[in-house]
Amino acid sequence: MEIENNIISAVANAIKALYGHDIAPETIQLQKTKKEFAGHLTLVVFPFLKISRKKPEDTAQEIGDYLKKEIPSVVADFNVVKGFLNLVISPASWIGLLSGIQRDEKFGLAAAGEHSPLVMIEYSSPNTNKPLHLGHVRNNLLGCALANIMAANGNRVVKTNIVNDRGIHICKSMLAWLKYGNGATPESTGIKGDHLVGDYYVAFDKHYKEQVKELMDKGMPEEEAKNEAPLMKEAREMLVKWEHNDPEVRALWRKMNGWVYAGFDETYKALGVSFDKIYYESETYLEGKEKVMEGLEKGIFFRKEDGSVWADLTAEGLDEKLLLRADGTSVYMTQDIGTAKLRFRDYPINKMIYVVGNEQNYHFQVLSILLDKLGFEWGKDLVHFSYGMVELPNGKMKSREGTVVDADDLIAAMIDNARKMSEDKINKLTDVSEEEAAEIARIVGLGALKYFILKVDARKNMLFNPEESIDFNGNTGPFIQYTYARIRSILRKAAEAGMPMPETIPATAMLSEKEIGLVQMLADFPNVVKQAGNDYNPSCIANYCYDLVKEYNQFYHDFSILHEEDADKRAFRLVLSANVGKVVRTGMGLLGIEVPERM
C-alpha cells in the first residue's frame, strides 16, 4: 500500500543519511504492529545493526526521529521496543488511503494483458456413468475459485474439463439400460439424464453381485466368479465393440452420453461453474497412444517381451510405469499425455494446473516427468492442485452402490435450508416478492455450501456439515452475506435521508483506532489476493472476508453511522462502510459466491 511504500523509501533515505550506506528498498520489511503495542506498522531494525554499529534501541530511535522529521504527514509518532520501531501513522494518511480505495472500482484485482502468462486450469473431470456428487462439488468449487484468483493476479486463464466418456464403467450403464431399461428416456421418466444413467450403473452392480453369489454358491472361487459372471463378460464384449466402432454400440453410447451432458450442464449452471474448453477421453486416448509410440521410436520409452510399452523412471527415483498394455489398449496416463498434446496444440500454455484429489499425487508426479521427456515446455512445472476428500458423518461414498451424496440433491437441500433459516429475516422485508425471497434463499444456500467448502485448506480432508454451514453466526457464508446486506441497507437509508455518498472524505475527520484498523485491513486485500494466487489457496480469501466482516460488525456495534452528528465523521464512516462492502463483494466473488442486496 502507498503508506508502506512511502515509509520504505524514507527508511532507505534514513540509512543513507544516518550511516552512509545504500540499501535496497526490497530488503526493508514492515509488518503490522502487535496489538499489545501502540502503533500501526513496525520496522524490525536488527538487519541494520551491522551498518549502524549501535544498539538496537539506539538504531530504532535514530530512524524513528528521522522519519518523524522527514515525513510528518505519514509518521505522526513512534515508540521503540528493543529492536522494533513501532510507527503511529497519521489520520490524514489513512483518509488518503481510503480515498484511493474508494476511487478504484477494481481494488485488489490485477488486469491481464495480451502478453500475460496463459494459465490453463483443469477441473471437474466427471465420468459419464453417474451424476456429479459431493466430491465433484468440492473439485468444481476449488477449480472455479482458483481460476478467478489466477485471473485476479493478472494471468490469462483458460478453464478446461476432461470428460471420462469411455471405458468399462460406461459400458456397464449402457448394458444395464439395454437389459432393464425398457426404452426409458429422461423425457419419458421425468428423470434428469445423468441420474437416469447413474440408476443403471447401480442396477448393473446389483444384478452383477447376484450373479457372482450364484456362481459362488455353486462352488466357484470369488475371483473366478467375478470374472465369469455373464454380465461382466457382456460388458467387456461391449467395450471391445466400442473400440472397434460398432455402429449400434456407438449410437447407444452417443445417446446416453447426451443425456448425461444435458444433466451435467444443469448442475454446472446451478453451481455457477463454467468451462472455456471441454476435452473428451474418447478423442484424446488415441492421441496419447500416438505420442507414446513416438516416444518409443525416440528411445524415451521401451517395449517389454509381451508387447507392452513402459517408461523407465528409476533414474528419477521412481519405478517403471506402464503406458500401453500388451493388447495395445491405453491406460489413464496415456489419455493424459494425449490430452496434453491437444491442449498444447490449441493454446500457448505457460502453466498447467490440474485440480485432482490427493489420491492421484503419484500419477501427476509421473505425468510431469513424462511430459517433460516428450518435450512439453510446461511439463516439469505443471501444478497438481492436490486436495483432500470430503467426508461425511456416516462414512465414505460409493457410486456403484448408490450411497452417494448427489450434487443436485445437496444444492436443493441447501437452498431449502436457507429458505427455512431465513424466513424470519426475509419476512421482516415487507416489500419482498416471492420471487425475490426465492432468489435470496438460492444465493444464501449456495453461499453457505461454497463458503463452507472453500474456507478449509484444500489439502486437508474435510467433514461437510450442512447444518453448521447455514448458520447465520460464526465463520459461515450467510454471516458474511448478512453483513454485506446490512451495509447495503445502511447506504440505502443514508441516501433516503439525504446523505449521499461523499465524493471526497474530509481531511479533518477524527479517526478511532477501530476505524484505522478497518482501513488497514482493507488495504491488505491486494496482498491477500496475491498470496492466494502464489499459494494456490482460496481459503485465505475466504478467511480474510470473515475477519473483515467480524471487525466491521464490532465497529457497527460500537459506533453510530447514520445518527453521528459530526458530519465529517459520518461521511468517513459511510465511505468506510461502502468500501468494506465493495471488498467483501469482490472477495466473495473470487470464490464464486454471490452476495444479496437484502437479507
Give 12's Cβ-side CA count (13 Å radius): 13
Spans of the chain below 50 pLDDT:
396-402
d(CA 526, CA 484) in angstroms, rounded, equals 19
d(CA 125, CA 383) in angstroms, rounded, equals 16
d(CA 59, CA 72) in angstroms, rounded, equals 19
Give the CA dihedral 160, 165, 166, 172, nearest 10 degrees.
150
Q: Which of 581, 547, 563, 561 is nearest to 512 (CA)?
A: 561
One-character DSSP codes across 501-552: PPSS--TT----HHHHHHHHHHHTHHHHHHHHHHHT-THHHHHHHHHHHHHH
Running DSSP on this structure, what letter comes out for residue 127?
Answer: B
Sheet of 309-312, strands arranged across: 302-303, 309-312, 320-324
> How far is CA 144 from each of CA 28, 109, 157, 476, rounded to the nearest angstrom?
36, 16, 11, 19
Helix (H, G, I), strand (E, B) or coil at 88: strand
pLDDT at 398: 46
The domains of the chain, with CATH numbers, are 2-89 (3.30.1360.70), 166-275 (no CATH), 279-405 (3.40.50.620), 407-590 (1.10.730.10)
pLDDT at 504: 84
Helix (H, G, I), strand (E, B) or coil at 458: coil
- Taking only Cα atoms into account, the Rg of the chain, rounded to an integer number of angstroms, comes to 30
pLDDT at 64: 97
Q: Which of 268, 261, 278 is nearest to 193 (CA)?
A: 261
Segment 235-251, tens digit of pLDDT: 999 999 998 999 999 99
Q: Taking the chain, what is the end-to-end CA distance rounded to the nearest angstrom? A: 33
pLDDT at 508: 78
d(CA 323, CA 362) in angstroms, rounded, equals 15
One-character DSSP codes across 355-383: EEEGGGHHHHHHHHHHHHHTT-TTSTT-E
**Amino acid letter, residue 104:** D
pLDDT at 397: 41
d(CA 190, CA 188) in angstroms, rounded, equals 6
Give 204's Cβ-side CA count (13 Å radius): 27
CB 518 within 8 A of CB 554: no
C-alpha 252: how far from its chain's center? 36
**Amino acid letter, residue 302:** F
pTM of the full structure: 0.92
Question: Any alpha helices (H) in 20-133, and if so which ranges?
Answer: 49-52, 56-70, 91-103
pLDDT at 402: 46
CB 324 within 8 A of CB 330: yes
Residues 6+ apart with CB under 8 A from 372: 379, 380
CB 551 within 8 A of CB 517: yes
Question: Any alpha helices (H) in 382-524, and if so which ranges?
Answer: 407-427, 434-454, 466-469, 477-496, 513-523
